[in-house]
């Protein structure tokens, strides 16, 4: 039984190292969120940090600032959703479909 426990601990340590590597790599991975048919584009990294906002000039109407605000908010939310999906997908590559609920806090 001791050998199985040692093997399991080595596997857990490897998984922790792999997860740390993925977390570092997510900083450089990006996704784009868009709205208004692409007139607003937001680039977000795998840590949910907004890296860039692009606004097509024809999206800017001084008479309708509220529409521009709504488009920006929609693009940001789209980018953040895609970033969370990217992060979950990359982490799942390491953990598989393993359920990490119920493990001691701080283990992962």
Q: Left, alpha or beta for 97 (phi > 0: left; psi -120 to 50: alpha)?
A: alpha
Domain 2-95 sits in CATH 3.30.1310.10: yes
Which DSSP symbol is given to 59?
G
Residue 90, both tokens: 């990359």
**Cα separation of 106 and 104, whole Å?**
6
Q: Where are the domains of the chain?
A: 2-95
* Mean pLDDT, contiguous 10-residue spans, the chain (108 residues): 80 91 95 96 97 95 94 97 95 76 54
């Amino acid at each position: 039984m001791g050998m199985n426990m040692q093997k399991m601990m080595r596997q857990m340590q490897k998984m922790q190292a792999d997860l740390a590597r993925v977390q570092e790599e997510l900083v450089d991975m990006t996704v784009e969120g868009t709205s208004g048919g692409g007139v607003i584009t937001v680039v977000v990294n795998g840590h949910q940090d907004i890296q860039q906002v692009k606004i097509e000039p024809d999206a800017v109407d001084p008479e309708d600032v509220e529409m521009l605000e709504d488009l920006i908010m929609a693009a940001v939310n789209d980018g953040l959703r895609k970033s969370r999906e990217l992060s979950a997908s990359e982490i799942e590559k390491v953990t598989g479909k393993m359920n990490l609920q119920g493990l001691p806090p701080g283990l992962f």
